[in-house]
Amino acid sequence: GADASPMIAYQTEGTFLPFSHPCAVIKVSLTRGEDTHTVRYVEFRGNAGEQVCGDFTVDFENCALTPAGGGKTVRVYLNKKEDTDVYIAVPAREYPQGYTVKIVDKNGHCLELSTTRRVVEKGTVYEMKSKEFVPTHTYLQSDSQPLRILGVGNSWTRDGMRYLSALAKYSDRKII
């Protein structure tokens, strides 16, 4: 869930069981402009396509997670109109090309924030700079891939409009 972060405990003797966090937390502070729609979700991904959710093997002794198959994005669904802080638990690891957080509103308009930070340490909160949500482009979701359309709001490019027309005309077919 949105407020979940796994914890791991390991002890070979005694009755004290110390818990530790195998994940890092990315904090995104969102502020909204007057004309901004409801924020639908915030998504995290590694820029090199690293696995960030799904199955992991657990090294209890070292409080570490090893990818064992799963997804490449973590989404936190919000449906909020007000300013808010979003916390995303992600595997502590090296992200060789950094990572990106995408903020998407109910109309598919989005803003992407990227960093070149390479390593996120377990049990640490990393705060991305507070950002007013001003969409920079729009995504349309298909069954296979997100479709990127150039333009925001009513300022569509001519090619973007042609593409939308083609999508509407062939909506019963799978576009590859």
Q: pLDDT over 70 for what percent of the chain?
A: 69
How far, in Å, CA of 37 to CA of 33, rounded? Answer: 9
Look at residues 163, 108, 164 and name the one whose alpha carbon lies nearest to residue 135: 108
pLDDT means per 10 residues in the chain (176 residues)?
A: 74 88 90 75 94 92 90 89 87 94 87 88 85 65 44 40 44 42
In single-letter form, the type of residue at position 42 comes to: V
Question: Do residues 92 and 22 touch, judged by C-beta distance below 8 A?
Answer: yes
Pairing of strands 23-32, 125-133: parallel
Look at residues 98, 96, 74, 94 and name the one whose alpha carbon lies nearest to residue 86: 74
